């Protein structure tokens, strides 16, 4: 009896996988409220990716509405997102700051050279320690920061033209309006 | 008119597939000879109608029939004719039709070359293939009809995704699909054997050539894909652990395990239930590959069809096909005899280890591919799993695997003798160490532990694989009668290929050099002794793109050795980089353009890639091994000669090895 139960194992594995895929089909890159929303951006002091001698701090995020985009060369979803970000950066709506997360400097520089560089500045967080304060789980994630340096919105998953148009742009415009 | 004929052909093919499945399965179950004799004609006719539909779609592309929505979305008049043809499978609907067309090709192959099998068995095999045809034809007609008309028609179509406009796109998907779909034949054989309840070693022998064929197509498909990414994606990588690459790699790993496990089942009657499970798993993973690519469940550059309805349908198909197969497996397997026993040091034990390593590797790839999805489904976060995970998992798995590859063929079936194996291999070890040291000196680069391990493992695998044929030829030259059957030669060749591959992978990834530099006209840079001089820049244009070409003169020791021209092309709305590659047997030079920085200044990636060609060359050699093995005469033996008719009560293959008919020297034969 025990032996024949053993042969049922594969079909059980299949059942679990099917259930998983079923859920996967109906999942969207979800928008999860982050506990940090409404709080000031965490302090940080990181080297700039392209100019290692000039450090970046939270000060750069103050005074204007901006996006902080967490990415890494190891993340394949970021590959797709890069196209969208390039197109968005050409519109010059807001400065986009990059947060290069758990990455290798040479690889990251090569990535930007190959695929284009949408970022005003890129904080280089090789260990990923500084990102913990931001509640970063993985890449890509995007934070919307208002002119006072307060996190107002967080988007998890790769940005698409659709997400930018329907989720981000209305919020950005509202914040820019608020500021003036 | 032509699109309607194509559509009608699909509907007729579906009707014939229903007949094929019913007469095949029910006929065999009830022993109805008349029903069973209808299966082969139904299968062939079904395949012909599918071929007709495929031809109709190709015709629409070649004649620019933009009244067909799918053609309008994927082709335009500016495309050269061969890209119009490859555009047939450039998107979802067409690649599904290609899938079905490839299944039709395999079905005709099985119908043609299964005449020597017992009628009951071949009917079941064709019946199972019929069921698979039904599933995919219904899927296509219900959700993804490529012949839908566009009203009103447009005069000009959209562009084919420029990244797909490459000569290799002519061969990559069809080869990969030949492999994916070919595993359905191994699956059908396993299911037919499970249904008959008479699973013995003959089933394994019938299944082996089909499995090897599917495997070699999968191998060539993956190699072409990798080479294509290397030349076309423009940043010099040859494998990205992208979910879609993984989707082809998982069935390949399991199919490799299946080939080895089938050898044990055929020769020793052992591992029967395990072999059947592997056959089911290999096909399930190719269905899963189709699902992952088609549904958009995982984010990937390849996932060009994002449509939950289609995803649900494919998921349903997987659930029904694999669920039914595994239920049958759970019902039949407990009754199977476990076959011959074996000692811990024996060929069986080594092949079991081979299977464990390959299946664990496949499971690790599956885990890495699905992990982001699991996290998401469990309301944890969306994350990505990248190359660091796969590298960490694969290196410790592959080191023992490649040590065992060299030893396995020199261990006897049932119970091997350590002394005997050591006696055969001691000088191989010596030679491998010497070869590794020579290679290390020749490469004259800073080395790492992984590079050294890779060099020695590669040398060991190659020398160990060559030992057997060299020994046999030497003995023959001395007048001994030692045969060298194709199956042994095939195995040897495939193992040499694996050795070359591992050399290429480790050396290029550990000793390769990459420099990203900014260059101005006239300036020059030096990478690993090669001097690249920016000679000129010029505008170029193709039928459907505009671009810039930068020319570099490459010299070494003051002598010019090559002129390399890298391009950046702008299509209607995409930019692609066409890298310049200066190939060599032992190293490639690779130049890819990054961003223009104004005044003809460019950021450029220069790469020196030692032994990178060994990766694809090794893969080709592995495939060649498959070709040699599949051409072995014993697979073409008629049923009457080989006593392969399943007896009413098949003898249990408890202790006696089944001598492969015609090869009286089965004892020394290193099949597998």
Mutate to test the interface with B, among A25, A27, A81, A157 (most CBs of B within 10 A): A25
Question: Which residues of A fall within a CB distance of 8 Å from B376?
Answer: 24, 27
B368/A contact by beta carbon, under 8 A: no
Band (pLDDT 50/70/90 cuts) for residue B152 is confident
Of A154, A112, A124, which Cα lies nearest the Cα of A47? A124
Query: What pLDDT sits at residue B159?
Result: 62
In the predicted structure, residue B290 carries a pLDDT above the cut 60: yes
Say whether A18 and B603 touch across the interface (CB within 8 A).
no
Say whether B376 and A139 touch across the interface (CB within 8 A).
no
B284/A contact by beta carbon, under 8 A: yes
Distances (CA, A) of B387 to A46, B233, B513, B537: 25, 17, 18, 35
Count CA within 13 A, CB hemisphere, residue B363: 10
B311/A contact by beta carbon, under 8 A: yes
Break chain A into its structural domains and give their ranges. Answer: 32-179
Q: Nearest-CA residue of chain A relative to B308?
A: A25
With beta carbons less than 8 A apart as the criterion, state whether A142 and A172 touch. no
In the predicted structure, residue B303 carries a pLDDT above the cut 60: no
Mutate to test the interface with B, among A1, A3, A17 (most CBs of B within 10 A): A17
Say whether A7 and B329 touch across the interface (CB within 8 A).
yes
Taking the CA of residue A180 and the nearest CA in chain B, the distance in Å comes to 35
Band (pLDDT 50/70/90 cuts) for residue B300 is very low
In this prediction, residues B59-78 reach a mean pLDDT of: 87
**Which element (helix H / strand E) includes B590?**
strand B587-596
Query: What pLDDT sits at residue A29?
Result: 43
Mutate to test the interface with A, among B240, B377, B392, B605 (most CBs of A within 10 A): B377
B516/A contact by beta carbon, under 8 A: yes
In the predicted structure, residue B670 carries a pLDDT above the cut 50: no
Chain B, window 426-465: residues with a beta carbon less than 8 angstroms from a chain A beta carbon: none
Taking the CA of residue A115 and the nearest CA in chain B, the distance in Å comes to 7
With beta carbons less than 8 A apart as the criterion, state whether B331 and B297 touch. no
Lowest mean pLDDT among B477-481, B527-531, B633-637: B633-637
In this prediction, residues B161-169 reach a mean pLDDT of: 68
In total, the C-beta contacts within 8 angstroms joining chain A to chain B are 118
In this prediction, residues B584-597 reach a mean pLDDT of: 87
Q: Nearest-CA residue of chain B relative to A70?
A: B383
Taking the CA of residue B575 and the nearest CA in chain A, the distance in Å comes to 9
Of the partner residues A24, A78, A116, the one whose CB lies closest to the CB of residue B376: A24
Taking the CA of residue A179 and the nearest CA in chain B, the distance in Å comes to 32
The SS3 assignment for B448 reads coil
More confident call, B26 vs A18: B26
CA–CA distance, B491 with B504 (Å, rounded to integer)? 20
Strand pairing report for B545-556 and A121-125: unpaired
| Residue A71 bridge partners (DSSP) | A100
In the predicted structure, residue B299 carries a pLDDT above the cut 90: no
Question: Which residues of B fall within a CB distance of 8 Å from A114?
Answer: 234-235, 577, 592, 594, 605
- Residue B531, classified by CB atoms within 10 Å of its CB into exposed (0-12), middle (13-18) or buried (19+), is middle
Of the partner residues A21, A72, A139, the one whose CB lies closest to the CB of residue B315: A21
Band (pLDDT 50/70/90 cuts) for residue B479 is confident
Tell me: the pLDDT tens digits for B206-250?
A: 999 999 999 999 999 999 989 988 887 766 788 888 777 888 999
Band (pLDDT 50/70/90 cuts) for residue B351 is very high
In the predicted structure, residue B444 carries a pLDDT above the cut 50: yes
The SS3 assignment for A100 reads strand
CA–CA distance, B513 with B532 (Å, rounded to integer)? 14
Tell me: the pLDDT tens digits for A14-25?
A: 898 888 777 766
In the predicted structure, residue B427 carries a pLDDT above the cut 50: yes
Classify each residue of B208-224 as buried b or exposed e, where b means 16 or more C-beta atoms within 10 Å of its C-beta: bbbbbbbbbbbbbbbbb
Question: Which residues of A fall within a CB distance of 8 Å from B330?
Answer: 4, 7-8, 10-11
Tell me: the pLDDT tens digits for B601-659?
A: 888 889 999 899 999 999 999 999 999 999 887 776 654 434 443 333 333 333 333 33
> Where does residue B378 fall: left (phi above 0), alpha (psi -120 to 50 degrees), or beta otherwise?
alpha
Instruction: Divide the 180 residues of chain A into consecutive groups of 10 and give the mean pLDDT of each group.
Output: 74 86 62 69 89 88 91 75 87 91 84 86 86 77 90 82 86 81
Q: Nearest-CA residue of chain B relative to A7?
A: B330
Band (pLDDT 50/70/90 cuts) for residue B592 is confident
Tell me: the pLDDT tens digits for A24-52?
A: 666 544 445 567 788 888 889 899 998 88
With a pLDDT cut of 90, the percent of chain B lying above it is 45
Taking the CA of residue B66 and the nearest CA in chain A, the distance in Å comes to 28
CA–CA distance, B358 with B370 (Å, rounded to integer)? 18
Say whether A114 and B592 touch across the interface (CB within 8 A).
yes
Taking the CA of residue B566 and the nearest CA in chain A, the distance in Å comes to 13
Say whether A137 and B299 touch across the interface (CB within 8 A).
no
Tell me: the pLDDT tens digits for B483-522?
A: 788 888 999 999 999 999 999 999 888 888 888 888 999 8
CA–CA distance, B200 with B188 (Å, rounded to integer)? 15
Mutate to test the interface with A, among B381, B384, B390 (most CBs of A within 10 A): B384
Chain B, window 333-352: residues with a beta carbon less than 8 angstroms from a chain A beta carbon: 333-334
Strand pairing report for B575-578 and A121-125: unpaired
Instruction: State the average pLDDT for chain B.
Output: 84
CA–CA distance, B139 with B317 (Å, rounded to integer)? 9
Query: What pLDDT sits at residue B163?
Result: 62
Of the partner residues B242, B334, B370, the one whose CB lies closest to the CB of residue A76: B242
Of the partner residues A11, A109, A138, the one whose CB lies closest to the CB of residue B323: A11
CA–CA distance, B142 with B129 (Å, rounded to integer)? 20
In the predicted structure, residue B552 carries a pLDDT above the cut 60: yes
Domain boundaries A32-179, CATH class: alpha beta
> Where does residue B313 fall: left (phi above 0), alpha (psi -120 to 50 degrees), or beta otherwise?
alpha
Chain B, window 550-589: residues with a beta carbon less than 8 angstroms from a chain A beta carbon: 577
Question: Which residues of B fall within a CB distance of 8 Å from A109?
Answer: 516
């Amino acid at each position: 009896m025990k032996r024949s139960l053993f042969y049922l194992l594969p079909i059980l594995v299949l059942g679990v996988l099917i259930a998983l895929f079923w859920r996967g089909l109906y999942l969207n890159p979800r928008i999860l409220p982050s506990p940090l929303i409404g709080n000031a951006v965490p302090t940080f002091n990181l080297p700039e990716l392209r100019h290692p001698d000039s450090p970046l701090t939270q000060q750069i995020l103050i005074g204007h509405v901006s996006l902080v985009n967490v990415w890494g060369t190891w993340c394949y979803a970021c590959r797709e997102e890069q196209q969208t970000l390039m197109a968005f950066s050409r519109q010059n709506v807001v400065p986009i700051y990059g947060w290069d997360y758990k990455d290798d400097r040479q690889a990251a520089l090569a990535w930007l050279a190959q695929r284009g560089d949408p970022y005003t500045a890129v904080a280089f967080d090789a260990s990923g320690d500084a990102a913990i304060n931001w509640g970063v789980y993985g890449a890509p994630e995007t934070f919307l920061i208002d002119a006072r340096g307060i996190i107002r919105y967080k988007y998890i998953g790769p940005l698409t033209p659709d997400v930018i148009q329907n989720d981000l742009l209305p919020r950005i415009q509202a914040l820019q309006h608020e500021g003036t | 008119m032509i699109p309607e004929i194509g559509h009608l052909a699909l509907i007729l093919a579906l009707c014939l597939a229903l007949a094929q499945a019913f007469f095949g399965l029910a006929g065999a179950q009830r022993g109805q000879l008349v029903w069973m004799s209808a299966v082969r004609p139904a299968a062939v006719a079904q395949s012909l109608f599918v071929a007709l539909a495929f031809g109709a779609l190709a015709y629409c592309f070649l004649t620019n029939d933009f009244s067909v929505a799918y053609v309008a979305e994927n082709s335009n008049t500016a495309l050269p004719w061969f890209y119009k043809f490859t555009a047939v499978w450039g998107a979802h609907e067409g690649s599904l039709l290609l899938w079905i067309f490839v299944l039709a090709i395999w079905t005709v192959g099985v119908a043609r070359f299964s005449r020597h099998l017992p009628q009951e068995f071949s009917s079941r095999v064709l019946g199972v293939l019929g069921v698979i045809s039904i599933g995919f034809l219904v899927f296509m007609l219900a959700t993804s009809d490529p012949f839908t008309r566009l009203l009103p028609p447009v005069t000009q179509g959209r562009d084919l995704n420029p990244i797909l406009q490459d000569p290799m796109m002519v061969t990559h998907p069809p080869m990969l699909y030949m492999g994916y779909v070919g595993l359905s034949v191994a699956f059908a054989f396993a299911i037919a054997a499970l249904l008959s309840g008479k699973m013995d070693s003959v089933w394994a022998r019938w299944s082996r050539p089909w499995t090897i064929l599917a495997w070699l197509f999968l191998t060539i498909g993956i190699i072409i894909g990798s080479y294509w990414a290397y030349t076309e994606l423009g940043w010099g990588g040859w494998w990205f652990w992208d979910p879609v690459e993984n989707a082809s790699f998982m069935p390949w790993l399991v199919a490799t395990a299946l080939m080895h496990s089938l050898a044990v089942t055929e020769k020793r009657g052992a591992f029967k239930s395990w072999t059947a499970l592997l056959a089911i798993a290999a096909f399930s993973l190719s269905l899963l590959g189709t699902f992952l690519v088609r549904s958009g469940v995982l984010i990937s550059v390849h996932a060009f069809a994002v449509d939950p309805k289609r995803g649900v349908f494919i998921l349903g198909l997987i659930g029904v096909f694999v669920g039914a197969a595994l239920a049958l497996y759970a019902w039949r397997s407990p009754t199977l005899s476990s076959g011959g026993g074996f000692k811990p040091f024996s060929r069986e034990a080594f092949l079991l280890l081979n299977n464990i390593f390959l299946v664990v590797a496949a499971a690790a790839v599956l885990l890495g591919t699905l992990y982001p999805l699991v996290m998401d489904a469990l309301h944890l976060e969306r994350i990505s799993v990248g190359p660091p995970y796969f590298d960490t998992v694969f290196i410790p798995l592959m080191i023992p695997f490649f040590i065992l590859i060299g030893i396995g063929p020199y261990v006897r079936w049932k119970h091997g003798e350590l002394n005997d194996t050591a006696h055969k291999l001691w000088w191989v070890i010596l030679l491998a160490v010497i070869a590794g040291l020579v290679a290390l000196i020749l490469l004259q680069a800073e080395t790492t532990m992984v590079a050294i391990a890779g060099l020695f493992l590669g040398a060991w695998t190659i020398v160990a694989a060559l030992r057997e044929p060299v020994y046999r030829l030497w003995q023959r030259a001395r007048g001994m009668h030692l045969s060298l059957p194709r199956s042994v030669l095939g195995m040897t060749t495939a193992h040499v290929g694996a050795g070359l591959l591992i050399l290429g992978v480790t050396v290029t990834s550990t000793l390769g050099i990459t420099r990203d530099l900014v260059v101005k006209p006239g300036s020059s840079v030096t990478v690993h002794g090669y001097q690249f001089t920016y000679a000129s820049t010029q505008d170029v244009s193709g039928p459907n793109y505009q671009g810039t070409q930068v020319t570099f003169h490459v010299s070494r020791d003051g002598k010019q050795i090559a002129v390399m021209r890298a391009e950046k092309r702008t299509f209607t709305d995409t930019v692609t980089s066409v890298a310049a590659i200066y190939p060599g047997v032992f190293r490639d030079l690779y130049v890819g353009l990054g961003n223009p920085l104004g005044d003809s200044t460019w950021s450029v990636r220069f790469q020196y890639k030692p032994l990178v060609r060994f990766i694809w060359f090794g893969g080709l050699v592995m495939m060649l091994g498959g070709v040699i093995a599949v051409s072995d005469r014993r697979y073409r033996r008629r049923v009457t000669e080989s006593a392969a008719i399943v007896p009413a009560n098949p003898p249990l293959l408890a202790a006696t090895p089944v001598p492969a008919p015609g090869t009286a020297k089965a004892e020394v034969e290193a099949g597998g």
